[in-house]
């Protein structure tokens, strides 16, 4: 493989930016989510049992155990971790010498500490992906904390390859689970006719994408299957043009997702992983800084033409098999393309059994090639000392890469039961030993398409007299039918995301919702600011509601009208049923649920420390304020309107 200095540089810079977004986004939400008067106070996760510090760190790996030594409670400890993480990531983004192994190790430890107590609000696949990518960055980044520009090491190709394997596992598993779930919309190629309006937080462009004809939506599903299932095998191709083609197809998919949905930093992180498919020559081609092209010798010219022909043949086969397995037929008169799934679940399951183990061996061969080529580079180093030093580094990082690859095989093989059962017991034992640190994870995005009969949405209403009810509208999730979807990425409003999940299942499966209702009845400002920052947009800013209830609606995008580029109403909705009964402070049922779920307030008021660090954190919090809402929000004319029932 050609040099990877420039792609590695791009990867480390992008990861620094993503870390900064992740820490900053979480920081503004900590008081409402995890504060002492938040929805799920994080201090309840910190059970001080009298064990030694090392035992506590072993049982629950988080730096928050050090908080009391600095005079910090758990909320302030989380705020300090977020601030340190954001500042460190910002420094790494601006200063190249800070993009070293030690800095990325600190960033990984800080984020892992937050995930340990994050509970349901940090239980997302992109949080796991950031942890796994962040740990690989520790192996990829140079040890250059006290030096100038980073220099390429001879083993960098080995560790950088691990990103390609992670990208393969992410994309291939995401494509496979769509079909193994037996979701009728994925099998019927109609998933995207529902996706744009039923995803968690759509963008304004999602409304326009929803208006596209059905034949185009079905063709888009076919393209998604090709990009996620077939193309990832090209990541390991020795033919450079195939890897580059795979890169552009993956990036195209992620850009389209970014345009139509608010998925925080997830798609940026996936694009960052795609840099592992690039080399120095191609990045130099982008920047027009490549060396002047020299005339090839006859052997080089023959190899170049052979690679071109092989690449052409592979893409031709992919197009042919796509046509065969998805029954593609072009109707030239109507300018449409018809498509249908031309294989059965049994046939796909047999295909999966056939390719899962060979895909692991493809990874073995590809990694072996990287290790061997790096070994020959070490042998070519001049000077006995430098040759020995390069060989020692090569051996250490080769063992690290092989170990990471081995333990990653365990969660990857979850996509096919028989393959998982055949994994070597020693590898399974290795994976179990490090499982709690989330060094490797299993993935599978958009397994089933939700909201086929309409997008379920929970609407919370408050009242002072149980007669006139006023809707409590969130800043991000759909509520007001006249307001357009927001633009909010790379920030992730985690309460709005969980409200989306809550609407998909019975209320009893979202116990945190009871705590949310309780905090709104108490009028806790930190929780209210997760819903609306501006007091004028929150109908109970002067006095908390005396009663609260929640109702379940079905939402649909409105249809486009000729001659009107912007819709008057973006959504239409229909009431379905009560989601949460009417409750008030002192309600026996509410207190029973709080006790059942373990949300009863524990202990009295905490003593406010006047030590330097806590005072500084309070000052920063007071100056930073809350997140000021989405970049794009709808008109407020219909906000806070009462409904009588």
* Contacts with 503 (C-beta within 8 Å, 6 or more apart), sequence order: 456, 457, 458, 552, 579
Does 642 score more than 80 pLDDT? Answer: no
Backbone angles phi, psi at 454, to 5 degrees: 125, 145
Q: State the Cα–Cα distance between residues 361 and 639, nearest whole angstrom.
A: 57
What was the pLDDT predicted at 640? 46
> CB burial class (10 A; 0-12, 13-18, 19+) of residue 442?
middle
Do 441 and 132 meet the contact criterion of CB atoms below 8 Å apart? yes
pLDDT tens across 95-117, in order?
999 999 999 999 999 999 999 99
CA distance 431 to 436: 9
462 DSSP β-pair partners: 470, 548
Residues 5 and 259: their CA atoms lie apart, in Å, by 30
Of 25, 15, 12, residue with least CA distance to 488:
25
Binned at pLDDT 50, 70 and 90, residue 145 comes out as: very low
Give this prediction's pTM.
0.93
Residue 644 has pLDDT above 80, yes or no: no
**What pLDDT, on a 0 to 100 scale, did the predictor assign at position 285?**
86
Domain boundaries, the chain: 1-152, 455-644
Measured CA to CA, the distance from residue 39 to residue 31 in angstroms comes to 9
What are the pLDDT digits (tens) for 544-596? 999 999 999 999 999 988 777 778 889 999 999 999 999 999 999 999 999 99
Q: What is the mean pLDDT of residues 233-242?
A: 94
Quick check: 194 pLDDT over 70?
Answer: yes
For residue 16, pLDDT beyond 80: yes
Q: What is the mean pLDDT of residues 397-425?
A: 92
Distance CA 270, CA 129 (A): 9
403-406-408 Cα angle (round to 5): 110
CA distances from 76 to 30, 42, 80, 361 (A): 9, 10, 6, 47
Q: Which tens digits make up the pLDDT trace of 30-76?
A: 999 999 899 999 988 887 777 888 888 888 899 999 988 888 999 99
State the average pLDDT over residues 416-435. 89
- What pLDDT, in 10s, does the model give residues 456-473? 999 999 999 999 999 999
520 and 462 in contact (C-beta within 8 Å)? Answer: yes
Q: How far apart are the first and last CA of the chain?
A: 69
How confident is the model over 155-192, as pLDDT tens digits?
Answer: 888 999 999 999 999 999 999 999 999 999 999 999 99
Question: Stretch 346-358: mean pLDDT, rounded?
Answer: 94
Assign 146 a pLDDT band (cuts: 50, 70, 90).
very low
Mean predicted lDDT score pLDDT of the chain: 90
Q: Are strands 468-472 and 329-331 parallel, antiparallel or unpaired?
A: unpaired
**C-alpha 360: how far from chain center:** 24
Average pLDDT over residues 328-355: 92
The pLDDT score that the predictor gives to residue 447 is 87
Q: Mean of the pLDDT values across residues 379-386?
A: 84
Q: What is the pLDDT of residues 519-539, one digit of tens each?
A: 999 999 999 999 998 888 899
- The predicted-structure confidence for 271-291, as pLDDT tens digits, reads as follows 999 999 999 889 988 887 655
Q: Give the per-residue pLDDT at 292.
A: 56
């Amino acid at each position: 493989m050609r040099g990877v200095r420039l792609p590695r540089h791009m990867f480390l810079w992008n990861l620094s930016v993503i870390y900064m977004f992740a820490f900053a986004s979480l920081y503004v939400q900590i008081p409402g989510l995890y504060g002492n008067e938040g929805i799920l106070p994080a201090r309840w996760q910190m059970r001080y049992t009298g064990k030694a510090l090392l035992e506590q760190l072993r049982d629950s790996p988080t730096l928050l155990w050090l908080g009391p030594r600095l005079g910090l409670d758990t909320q302030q400890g989380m705020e300090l971790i977020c601030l340190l993480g954001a500042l460190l990531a910002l420094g790494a983004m601006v200063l190249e010498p800070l993009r070293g192994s030690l800095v990325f190790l600190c960033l990984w430890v800080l984020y892992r500490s937050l995930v340990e107590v994050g509970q349901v609000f940090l239980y997302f696949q992109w949080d796991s992906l950031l942890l796994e990518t962040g740990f690989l960055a520790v192996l990829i980044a140079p040890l250059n904390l006290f030096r100038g520009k980073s220099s390429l090491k001879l083993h960098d190709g080995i560790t950088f390859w691990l990103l390609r394997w992670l990208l393969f596992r992410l994309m291939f598993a995401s494509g496979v689970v769509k079909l193994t779930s037996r979701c009728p919309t994925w099998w019927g190629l109609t998933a995207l006719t529902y996706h744009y309006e039923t995803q968690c937080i759509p963008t304004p462009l999602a409304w326009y994408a929803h208006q596209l004809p059905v034949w185009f939506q079905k063709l888009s599903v076919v393209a998604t299957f090709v990009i996620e299932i077939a193309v990832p095998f090209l990541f390991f191709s020795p033919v450079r043009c195939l890897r580059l083609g795979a890169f552009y197809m993956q990036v195209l998919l992620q850009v389209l997702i970014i345009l139509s949905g608010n998925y925080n930093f997830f798609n940026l992180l996936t694009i960052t992983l795609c840099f592992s498919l690039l080399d120095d020559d191609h990045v130099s081609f982008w920047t027009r800084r490549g060396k002047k092209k020299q005339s090839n010798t006859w052997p080089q010219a023959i190899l170049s033409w052979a690679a071109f022909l092989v690449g052409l043949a592979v893409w031709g086969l992919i197009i042919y098999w796509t046509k065969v397995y998805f029954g593609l037929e072009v109707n030239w008169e109507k300018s449409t393309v018809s498509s249908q799934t031309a294989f059965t679940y049994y046939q796909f399951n047999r295909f999966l059994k056939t390719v899962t183990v060979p895909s692991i061996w493809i990874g073995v061969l590809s990694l072996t090639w990287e290790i061997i080529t790096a070994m020959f580079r070490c042998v070519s180093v001049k000077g006995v000392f430098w040759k020995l030093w390069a060989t020692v580094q090569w051996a250490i990082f080769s063992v690290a890469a092989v170990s990471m690859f081995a333990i990653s095989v365990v969660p990857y093989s979850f996509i096919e039961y028989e393959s998982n059962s055949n994994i070597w017991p020693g590898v399974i034992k290795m994976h179990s030993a490090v499982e709690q640190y989330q060094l490797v994870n299993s993935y599978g995005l958009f397994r089933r398409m939700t909201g086929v009969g309409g997008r379920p949405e929970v609407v919370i209403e408050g009242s002072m007299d149980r007669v006139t009810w006023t809707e409590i509208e969130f800043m991000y999730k759909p509520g007001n039918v006249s307001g357009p979807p927001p633009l909010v990425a790379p920030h992730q409003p985690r309460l709005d995301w969980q409200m989306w999940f809550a609407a998909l299942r019975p209320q009893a499966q979202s116990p945190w919702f009871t705590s949310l209702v309780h905090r709104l009845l108490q009028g806790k400002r930190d929780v209210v600011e997760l819903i609306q920052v501006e007091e004028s947009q929150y109908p109970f800013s002067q006095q908390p509601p005396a009663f609260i209830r929640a109702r379940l609606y079905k939402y649909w995008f409105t249809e486009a009208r000729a001659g009107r580029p912007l819709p008057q109403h973006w959504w239409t909705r229909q009431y379905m049923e009560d989601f949460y009964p009417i409750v008030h402070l002192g309600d026996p049922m509410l207190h029973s649920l709080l006790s059942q779920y373990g949300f009863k307030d524990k202990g009295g008021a905490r003593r406010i420390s006047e030590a330097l660090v806590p005072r500084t954190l309070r000052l920063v919090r007071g100056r930073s304020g809350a997140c000021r809402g989405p970049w794009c929000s709808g008109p407020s004319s219909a906000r806070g309107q009462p409904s009588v029932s």
